[in-house]
Amino acid sequence: MARQTPDTEEGVPSPVTEAEMEAVITRLQSKKRAPGPDGVHGRVLAIALGHLGDSLRELFDRCLRSGQFPEAWKEGRLCLLPKAGRTPDSVSAVRPVVLLNEAGKALEKIVASRLVQHLEEGSGPGLSESQFGFRARRSTVDALKRLRAVTGEAEHGREVVVAVSLDIANAFNSLPHAVIREALKYFGVPPYLRRLLEAYLSDRRVGLENRSGSVEWWRVGCGVPQGSVLGPILWDIGYDWVLRGRLLPGMGVICYADDTLVYSRGRNYKEAARLAEVGLDLVISRIESLGLRVRIDKTEALLFRGTGRKGPPPGATLQVGEGRVRMSPQMKYLGLILDGGWTFGPHFAMVGPKVVKAASALGRLLPNLGGPSAACRQLYSGVCRSMATYGAPVWADRLTAKNKAALRAAQRTIAVRVIRGYRTVSWAAATALAGDPPWELVAEVLAETYSYVSGRRALGENPTLDGILRVRRIGQEGLMRRWGEDLAVQPYGTRVTAAIRPVLERWMRRKRKPLTFRLTQILTGHGCFGDYLCRTAQREPTTECHDCGAAVDSAQHTLEVCPRWAVLRQGLTSVIGGDLSLPSVITAMLGDDESWKAMVSFCETVMSQKEADERMREEAADVASIRGRRMGVRRRRYLMRLL
């Protein structure tokens, strides 16, 4: 394949092409980041390039030819973001973020693309296959799958694997510029790019606004520039020295950016541990030769063993650098909690409560009455779903009943907020109404898509978009079928799930038909109904209807039978038809907007009156103790403030 930007033998750069400028504009338009010190937002610059494109391209060409990087583009505004749970006066209590000028980052984009092209298509050496970070078509999932493949091969050969995850202190801010310069020479980077990168790294400054409002500036003499486009690829180039080191047979390194994992195979723990200590000594010595430092206190070690194999001796440790690290039953690597048997039990024990906590926090922004729109609620639900299904291609085939239960508990928490429902609504009813498929099935679709893409790439092919979409479509069809089958056997929420299941896909794809708090009450049966208040909330002595004396005051009784709502019911049936069974109502609501609005209007009027009647009964002076006004946490705090 011919290069798009060929360079002459003398190292004279080719002019900036139209394709490179289009890539710059696309990047500027797609990013929603804060502007740099000049205050010019990326999208504003993208618009301006429609008039200034030729001038800016000429400026970029002059920079490439002269090997100069403008001083103004080497200045960044430093922002310190506080980290939760850290001591305020400690250095680690803040996360530094550097804002750079978008015009400078546009030039960085062009230089970075040429660097990557040289590394991938040039005649010189390329980046190590062990590096998965900051590289196209590689991800954390690829790194984790590589580790799982290593342990699988070892288990097949009746061996064990010792894995040690190294933590490099302040890695990106500590890599010396001299290391990057030497690495650029090693990779045979064209001279014009080396000259430009030399200017890019020299005389960099960051400014921080002090308490008086003035900006103090500091020189930056090491590290890859924070917030830059070139920073990630320069890190890969400089750190590659660590990954090129020769290791003994049975040893290896897997790396994502600075997250370095050293592993060794052996017939038993003793053999694998001895080999791991040798490999760690080699890798750490290379890391330290780059001017970096490994933090022993944050380094973790884990033994991967097959079924029935002995674990490490109690209290076993490994020599890592100048300290010792205890063998642990689990290890966090690239966002997953790994255990020796790849059961992922510890991972879901962590991620379940974590997602529930996030869902609960988001739930406080999603009140049942008012609050964000349905689209915003779906967005928040997607955030929680992404947290829960991270790394799905690695663990999807190891889901146990316990792990599924952890996922469903988290999913129910956010689904209830999406549908504006009571907290007692079941998982099946909440997810069906929210149109949110079971997360374990979503994880399987993600795993199938990943398997297709990685399989094609393993054959040397580049998977097409049509092929990927076809696999996703087939996976989605299977998901919908299995979701419907799962809903059919759920013991709770059967009234609403039985009504939605025949039209599940239409319900999930509906547009501009949001659920309301009172509509959800009628659909789920969880609300101001005698049946619910007696059996679930335990705040009524009986299930009877206060309006007509019927033995059971349920949502369906309110919708279809209770004579108090006869007039309102006539208005509803004139629009959606006379059949008020819930399946027929759901089908009619999906049929047209008028039917949906008529049902929402009926529910709002009826349930508002039932809620008002309920409040009057609660506040009655002679009310029984079981019917008393609830004393929730917020109400107790309010009353305490009045004392």
Question: What tens digit of pLDDT does each residue of 422-433 get?
Answer: 999 999 999 999
d(CA 299, CA 287): 14
Q: Phi-psi region for residue 461, left (φ > 0), alpha (ψ -120 to 50) or beta?
A: beta
- pLDDT above 80 (res 393): yes
Give pLDDT, residue 11.
Answer: 61
- pLDDT above 50 (res 2): no
Q: How far is CA 583 from the centre of its chain?
A: 36
CA distances from 139 to 7, 146, 234, 454 (A): 30, 11, 18, 11
pTM: 0.86
d(CA 307, CA 325): 25
- pLDDT above 80 (res 243): yes
Instruction: Please give the average per-residue pLDDT across 76-90, as a whole number.
Output: 77
Give pLDDT, residue 24.
Answer: 84
Give pLDDT, residue 477.
Answer: 94
Give pLDDT, residue 360.
Answer: 84
Q: CB atoms < 10 A from the CB of 224, how many? A: 23
Answer for the pair 130, 243: CB distance below 8 angstroms, yes or no: yes
Whose tokens are 């209590």? That residue is 93
d(CA 466, CA 470): 6
CA distances from 369 to 394, 433, 516, 529, 617 (A): 40, 17, 8, 18, 22
3-class secondary-structure state, position 540:
coil
Q: Exposure of 102 by Cβ count < 10 A (0-12 exposed, 13-18 middle, 19+ buried)? A: buried
3-class secondary-structure state, position 109:
helix
94-150: pLDDT as tens digits: 888 888 888 899 899 999 999 999 998 877 788 999 999 999 889 999 999 999 999
- pLDDT above 80 (res 640): no
Q: CB atoms < 10 A from the CB of 378, how many? A: 16
196-241: pLDDT as tens digits: 999 999 999 888 888 887 888 888 888 898 889 999 999 999 999 9
Q: Which two tokens stand for residue 63?
A: 């920079």
Which of the two residues, 619 and 22, has the higher pLDDT score?
A: 22
Q: Identify the band that residue 635 occupies on the pLDDT scale cut at 50, 70 and 90.
A: very low
Instruction: Please give the average per-residue pLDDT across 384-393, as a whole number.
Output: 94
- pLDDT above 60 (res 43): yes
Q: Which residues pair with 100 in a beta bridge?
A: 76
- pLDDT above 90 (res 629): no
d(CA 445, CA 432): 18
3-class secondary-structure state, position 251:
strand
Q: Which two tokens stand for residue 173?
A: 């801010």
Q: Which helix (H) or strand (E) holds 174?
A: helix 171-174
- Number of helices followed by number of strands (H, E) in the chain: 25, 12
Answer for the pair 102, 52: CB distance below 8 angstroms, yes or no: no
d(CA 429, CA 543): 22
569-612: pLDDT as tens digits: 999 999 999 999 999 999 999 999 999 999 999 999 999 999 99
Instruction: Please give the average per-residue pLDDT across 465-487, as a whole number.
Output: 94
What residue type is 634 in one-letter code?
R
Closest CA relative to residue 139, chosen from 392, 376, 464, 347: 392
- pLDDT above 50 (res 327): yes
- pLDDT above 90 (res 452): yes
Give pLDDT, residue 308.
Answer: 64
